[in-house]
Amino acid sequence: MVSLQHAHHRSGQGPRPRRSRLAVVSAATAATLGIAFLNAPSADAGHARDAGSHGSHHGHAGGHSPAYLNAKLPTKLRVADLLGRMTLAEKIGQMAQAERADVTDDPTQISRLGLGSVLSGGGSVPAANTPAAWADMVDGFQREALKTRLGIPLLYGVDSVHGHGNLLGATVFPHNIGLGASRDAKLAEKIGHITAIETRASGPQWAFAPCVCVARDDRWGRTYESFGESPALVRRMETIIDGLQGRKGQMDQRDHVLATAKHYAGDGLTTYKDTPDDANDYPIDQGIDEVSRAEFAKLALSPYPDAIRKHHVGSVMPSFSSVDWTEDGLGNPIKMSANKELITGVLKHAFGFKGLVISDWRAIHQLPGTYTDQVEVSVNAGIDMFMEPFSGDTVGYPQFIQTLTQLVNSGAVPMSRIDDAVRRILTVKFDLGLFEHPFTDRSLMNTIGSPAHRAVARQAVAESQVLLTNHDRTLPLSKQAPVYVAGSNADNIGNQAGGWTLTWQGSPTGVIPGTTIRAAIDAATDAPVTYSQDASAPVPAGANGVVVVGETPYAEGPGDVNGPAWAPNGIQTMQLSAADQAAIRTVCSAAATCTVLVVSGRPLIIPPDLLGQIDALVASWLPGSEGAGVADVLFGARPFTGKLPVTWPRTLAQEPINVGDANYDPLFPYGWGLTTGRR
């Protein structure tokens, strides 16, 4: 998902859609994909709610409230009752999602069109980016939704991918790649829970997280959104879903939200293209999976059964990417938004997914044909709700509603498909308790960014640090020796937090409450600390050098290696900048010891001559707001325990490189990580 501000770049992204055949769902679909061992679960039984209704409804015989407002009835019965009362217009309205900016000036669109959902894209925030302003905004939109004939509440979504990153002052956790390095499933659940608390206390009830992709090529700009290159590691860390949603049946509580498993499926498995057709095409992001069905099942589909059956994720977002089965030999990729075989046949039928399927940001516009063709194919493929902001275009959610209405009336989209979609949407809304409590419960608002929450983030940072080299036991550092700190990422919290922080792309100038690594080192040691970003200041005699280098923020395609020319923070290379390399050489030649921290969303290439000068090398990933967690392991308050969640290559030419490859010869293998004790 992306921001409103940058969405105009999306129209030409990815390999240009080619008119493709639609795969036909057959009884053999699951077996063909290598998933015949998976059995669909039984239908949801639903569970009771104990609360009153949220408002008055007119036209009910005898003055009695309809069954769908009876919180003591099972969800399944309430959904059936409400669905039976809805007109076609009311049903299709529930399938449409608008962006906050689209409805802010005229919120009556929500009631007039009967919209089912509103979202905030990355960086789309209220005028005052505070928890109260967020809650006021969401509640204002909710009041409009409740004015409709049936009073169906609104669902509000936001990208809480490493905490509620859009909200200034929220706790910003390490991105998923760092959590994967920790291998700590219980900590991931705790992080999901805190993220849910801070998200719902400020209004939104839906998090577009987590990404359960398996990143197989570090040149991909979303590598940091993955827990790692191993499907088993991704499955292990899916406990974050339990934290977000609670255990099954707990979503209606004030400290939980609806989670989203994304991006279904194979977004981390696309083929790298060295020479895009034009400057707007992405080489990896939104690309094509050119794999066999068996490989796709093993690497792309395997995280989803656990997410659905074990963790009961309530929504799934299809990927922008395409799949082209290599054994078919047709060269005819199918976009996931049009892939009925995988959405309906595998996800809904074989995996037994009962939740709602939400399209990504204007994703259906990448399908071939007219807008009518795009809507018809994607609805019939099995998408239930459509993220259709205007985003600078003339076609958005009103046109979606109009087009889908015409398609139903013409018979091109069967009414059964509409009922299935709306049934799923309503079920989620009942499970969230929105009919009983549609407005924001602000009782936990004071915990947003609290010391207790930030302490968990600090723990996550410490556990995510991976010690790659440690010659002569350089680490942990002594608190009594002077320290010399240098490098581009030593004192920049925007770089430290990465993408999806305040804005879609993140920014080197983005300032959030928290602690930079430099400030954390200052607080952790008893000795003098000298800071010089470019290492131009003299290195004191006997000082231990700490050079913090790495990437600037990015998100999605702009983070691809050799990505699009319009990338806001520059073309990404997976190479250390000349300035960072110079700082390392200067400090390593003058300091008593030289420790290098790599703050990045993926491995960076370390030139051999530099590696020979470095005493201790640490993968710090994107730690977020709590740089103190880095200092904790540097000075021995906590031990190093992190393990690489992805393979660290010697050269960029080795990409893609993954554990299990033939002739596997990385600089550091998957799972590598030295340990230290405490001082």
Which positions are catalytic?
360, 556
Would you state the structure tokens that stand for residue 655, as one six-digit string?
A: 């990409």
CA distance 644 to 57: 56
HEC sequence for 494-537: HHHHCCCECECCCCCCCCCCCECHHHHHHHHCCCCEEECCCCCC
- 358 DSSP 8-state letter: B
Both tokens of residue 392? 């600078």
Name the burial class of residue 58, with classes exposed (0-12), middle (13-18) and buried (19+) by CB atoms within 10 angstroms of its CB. Answer: exposed
Q: Residues 118, 109: contact at Cβ < 8 Å?
A: no
Report the number of secondary-structure helices (H) and strands (E) in the chain.
22, 17
Using CA atoms, how far residue 622 sits from 190, 461, 602, in Å, is: 19, 9, 9
Among all chains, which residue has been given the structure tokens 């977000």?
A: 244
Tokens of 235: 């499955």
Q: In what order do the strands lie in the sheet with 260-264?
A: 260-264, 315-318, 356-357
- As to burial, measured by CB atoms within 10 angstroms (0-12 exposed, 13-18 middle, 19+ buried), residue 277 is exposed
- The phi, psi pair for 484, rounded to 5°, reads -115, 120
The HSE-up count of residue 413 (CA atoms within 13 Å, CB side) is 28
**Rounded to the nearest 5 degrees, what angle is found at the Cα of 448, between the Cα atoms of 446 and 449?**
120
On the CB side of 454, how many CA atoms lie within 13 Å of its CA?
16
* Cβ-contact 373, 342 below 8 angstroms: no
Are residues 604 and 620 in contact, defined by beta-carbon separation less than 8 angstroms?
Answer: no
Closest CA to 323 of 303, 352, 300: 300
Question: Which helix (H) or strand (E) covers residue 386, if one does?
Answer: strand 386-387
Q: Are 326 and 283 in contact (CB under 8 A)?
A: no
Instruction: Please check whether residue 549 is in contact with residue 596, taking contact to mean a CB–CB distance below 8 angstroms.
Output: yes
Please state whether the peptide bond connecting residue 210 to the residue before it is cis, i.e. omega within 30 degrees of 0. Answer: yes
Residues 74 and 425 sit within 8 Å (Cβ to Cβ): no
